[in-house]
Amino acid sequence: MRFACLLADGFEDVEALGSAALMRRAGFEVDFYSVYNKKKVMGSYKTVVTDILPMKKLEPEKYDGLFIPGGKAAFRLRDEKSVKAIVQEFNQLEKWMLAICAAPTVYGMMGLLDNKRYISYPGTEKEMGKAIRVERKAVHDGRFITAISAGAIYDFVFEIIKTINGEKALESFKKNIYY
């Protein structure tokens, strides 16, 4: 399984990097893409990502899913035409759609989560259209997996592993990391 992760200055460091590290540990590939096609991107807490690809070269058909972390960047990304086009393409190709914290609003404001269960950062629910908020740390509905915040990265990745690879794979992963 291979995922494209969209980053822009102001991404939430632990949501992006912590989730990606855990996903990689579980055997998934995660490639970072710069939304604004920069050579480096800085997180909310000054972590700099330099091993990054320009979003203009992102080919959704080469991936199994899209991952958008939260942070202040998420509030800008949801208004970017280029991001909406990429999101729409991943969705039309019926790929996995992952988002955490404020990032589910990218999908919610596009109507992609209408009548689907989700969770996002408290206060963002007014921007989620007809999505159905579920008060849990991580929520899976169809091809969408969402999580509430940085404090839920383990729950988020556990939900990804369980949903895609099954309960046995999740239990093995937890055992491997001594969770």
DSSP state of 17: I
Q: Do the beta carbons of residue 54 and residue 34 sit within 8 Å?
A: yes
Dump the DSSP string for 72-111.
Answer: HHHHHHTT-HHHHHHHHHHHHTT-EEEEETTTHHHHHHTT
pLDDT tens digits, one per residue of 37-87: 999 999 999 999 998 999 999 999 999 999 999 999 999 999 999 999 999
pLDDT tens digits, one per residue of 158-172: 999 999 999 999 999
pLDDT tens digits, one per residue of 127-136: 999 999 999 9
Residues of the chain above pLDDT 90, percent: 99
Can you tell me the mean pLDDT for 90-100?
A: 98
- What three-state secondary structure class fits 64? coil
Can you tell me the mean pLDDT for 131-159?
A: 98
Where do the domains of the chain lie? 2-176
Q: Cα 21 to the chain's mean position, in Å?
A: 13
- Assign domain 2-176 one CATH number from 1.10.357.10, 3.90.1010.10, 3.40.50.880, 3.40.120.10: 3.40.50.880
Backbone angles phi, psi at 121, to 5 degrees: -55, 135
Largest CA distance in the chain: 42
> Residue 137: which of 111, 164, 158 has the closest Cα?
158
Please indicate, yes or no, whether the overall pTM of this predicted structure exceeds 0.95.
yes
Residue 91's pLDDT is 98
**Mean pLDDT, the chain, as a whole number?**
97
